[in-house]
Amino acid sequence: MTDLLKGQVALITGAGSGIGRAAALLFAREGARVVLGDQSESVQATAQAIQVAGGQAVALQMDAGLEADVVKMVATAQSEFGRLDVAFANAGISGGRSSVFDSTPEQWSEVLRVNLIGPWLMVKHAGQALVNQGQGGSIICTASVAGIRSGAGGAPYSASKAGVINLVMVSAQQLSESGVRVNALCPGLTETGMTKPTFDYAKDKGVSHKLGRLNPLRRAGQPEELAQVALFLASAQSSYVNGQAIAVDGGLSSSHPVTRQLPGQTAV
């Protein structure tokens, strides 16, 4: 432990599992007091794990895409801990693998509500609280490599994550001179609650070794690996990083589709 977040207060949505839970545990180990949100009651278990380890955590069952719930989360940080320093808008849903042809307006509306409106609400309300506090701060939004280019998610999901990437750019500019930084984390295939069906299917078929084989590291990511990058963006170590979308994907997004080749071979 290096106490990178000692004395700070952090909000994390989607903290009941996956990247959000890993980030909550890591932020707490690094000295942060945390307010955790998730639709699932599993967020209570995340908070309890932190408390048992000697940390301070408050858990809220909430909907990250509802403004009243986000307002309550920000207010809880201020009332319970007296300040706010970091907001991690991590909650998201996959919406399935539907294409532009077989998806429905209802699917698009729900995916955009949670995945894009949710982060905007966090920027709006946590950002205002940070500006009012006058001491800077960090806002992190979970986007995806699916928002960088096609091939990593369904149409509604990919569009929502592309929106998150642009949201952090616009927000970083509109928070100019406040000292509040806004960045996006772009995971590749990572073993989380959202991707559990994919990992379970691969295990059932005996092909788990094929997961993540399209990236140069030839493996899927783990939530703890993403949490480490979120910690970097939350801490003063990233004090000059702003308005960026950082891919944490084993190198997947570093290339266009190519035929695999051995060293010394010429690409076709």
Residues 30-46: tens digit of each pLDDT = 999 999 999 999 999 99
Strand stretches in the chain, DSSP E: 9-13, 33-38, 57-61, 86-89, 137-142, 180-187, 245-248
User: What are the tens digits of pLDDT across the range 116-174?
Assistant: 999 999 999 999 999 999 999 999 999 999 999 988 889 999 999 999 999 999 999 99
Tell me the pTM: 0.91
CA distance 110 to 165: 18
Mind listing the domains of the chain with CATH numbers?
9-191+221-250 (3.40.50.720)
CA distance 46 to 1: 19
Structure-token match 């616009």, residue found = 170
User: What are the tens digits of pLDDT across the range 169-210?
Assistant: 999 999 999 999 999 999 998 866 565 555 554 566 565 565
Rounded mean pLDDT of 207-217?
68
The residues assigned a catalytic role are 157
